[in-house]
Chain A
Amino acid sequence: MVGEFISRGFRGRRQEDPAVAGRIPPGQYLTPGFPVLSAGPTPHTPLMQWDFTIEGAVRPARRWTWDEFRALPSESITVDIHCVTKWSKLDTVWEGVAIDTLLDGVETDGTYVTAFCDGGYTTNLPLADLVDGKAWVAFAYGGEPLAPEHGGPARLLVPHLYFWKSAKWVRGLEITPRDRPGFWESLGYHDYGDPWREQRYQGD
């Protein structure tokens, strides 16, 4: 879009509270709801068939059943989330297992990750964006088990990037030596997706 453009007669509805305004990235607006966006039908994988794996360029590969995964140490996470479709939601409360916990004892030379999911969805991230307390596999939202339409039984939670990176119905992480575009990243969306730099689409 071009700069210096004024929309005649547009005043808009600014966020008056500076403490809140400072938490809303450019081009985003606050929503009280929790919109649902996904490209296809919601998968319903029985927990008995669910597992989570760490694979690819790793030694050793790891796999957890649902019960094993839920027995891992988890933490409560309160974060702001930002969807590329322009809504932001503040102070969302999740419970999940830190990626650091899942990668504990795993060696890798890889620097990128493809998260893969039920339904075939994938998304790519630098490994550095998933570690050091920056990302989780979340299984509860607002004190309740994560609903299927919001990605249950478990979704990735990477709140510092646009929310399509927080892959719903996640089943594992493949660690790779090179970056490989995921689902939306192959369809014109930005490879990295930093909301504070408004990296919505390729070329941003």
Chain B
Amino acid sequence: MTLRLESEAWPGHLPGQHVDVRLTAEDGYQAQRSYSIASTPAAGSLALTVEEIAGGEVSPYLSEELRSGDRLELRGPIGGYFTWTEANGGPLLLVAGGSGVAPLMSMLRYRATIGSAIPATLLYSSRAWDEIIYREELERLSADPAVRVIHTLTRSHPDGWDGYTRRVDAAMLEDAAGEPEPGRLAYVCGPTQFVENVASDLVALGYLPTWVKTERFGPTGG
């Protein structure tokens, strides 16, 4: 689910950053969670991608209770490391597991907005075709010959699917990653074990640890 928020005070963000969302009940009880910003940087507005966690405390409220026009308390933008702007260079390798695609989507949208020529590859693992977030927009973005979007579907796939059908592994990364040469940058976001495996595989392929930035993303009580 995508939340589109407007705020006169919002300064814009760096692609990859997140915000804290704080909910307050009538008796003063509060709960906070962090959500990645999926939109391209813009003063005054932002979009968050929220995955509803069954039995969670904040995400079910955001998915089911919050209505258009409601106010939401935000703090941010937060996080200055898992970020990319054109000044950081490339080529870019983005590796996403599930809703971990959100901050990487902000990078791809920003790259398109500014008309950057830096090549970018997104390797995106989803369970099924209809669980791919931003599927149609990713198709449009990959019309740019410098952008490559590679999907893998780990649980089920439509008839005639000729893409990957397994978890991201070293062979898949080797196909997506290109030669490990200076300047390359990898951003990996997804569940803990996904990030752990992908980051280790990239280092084994010859990426220096400093070229690989990671963000763990998962239902930790959501």
A and B together in one complex? yes
Using a CB–CB cutoff of 8 Å, the interface residues on chain A facing chain B are: 1-2, 5-14, 26-27, 29-33, 35-43, 85-87, 119-120, 149, 183-184, 186-188, 201
Q: Which of A31, A86, A183, A184 is close to B34, meaning CB atoms less than 8 Å apart?
A: A86
B125-162 near A? 1/0 per residue, CB < 8 Å: 00000000000000000000000000000000000000
| Interface residue B54 (Cβ < 8 Å from any Cβ of A) | no
Total A-B contacts with CB atoms under 8 angstroms apart: 109
| Interface residue B122 (Cβ < 8 Å from any Cβ of A) | no
Q: Which of B26, B32, B80, B81 is close to A86, meaning CB atoms less than 8 Å apart?
A: B32
Could you tell me if B34 and A38 are in contact, using CB atoms closer than 8 angstroms?
Answer: no
Q: Report the Cα distance A86→B72, complex, angstroms.
A: 18
Instruction: State the majority secondary structure of interface residues on B.
Output: mixed
Q: Which of A11, A32, A36 is close to B192, meaning CB atoms less than 8 Å apart?
A: A36
Q: Report the Cα distance A14→B196, complex, angstroms.
A: 33
In the complex with contacts A43-B209, A119-B209, A187-B79, A29-B221 CB distance below 8 A? yes
Question: Could you list some 21 contacts between A and B, CB below 8 A?
Answer: A2-B73, A5-B73, A7-B23, A8-B70, A9-B65, A12-B57, A13-B57, A29-B31, A29-B57, A30-B221, A36-B196, A40-B209, A40-B210, A40-B214, A41-B199, A41-B202, A41-B212, A42-B196, A43-B209, A86-B34, A184-B81
Q: Report the Cα distance A37→B199, complex, angstroms.
A: 13
Could you tell me if A187 and B192 are in contact, using CB atoms closer than 8 angstroms?
Answer: no
Instruction: State the majority secondary structure of interface residues on A.
Output: loop
Could you tell me if B73 and A37 are in contact, using CB atoms closer than 8 angstroms?
Answer: no
In the complex with contacts A1-B75, A188-B80, A35-B212 CB distance below 8 A? no
Question: What chain A residues lie within 8 Å of B216 (beta carbons)?
Answer: 35-38
Q: Report the Cα distance A184→B82, complex, angstroms.
A: 11
Could you tell me if B24 and A41 are in contact, using CB atoms closer than 8 angstroms?
Answer: no
| Interface residue B78 (Cβ < 8 Å from any Cβ of A) | yes
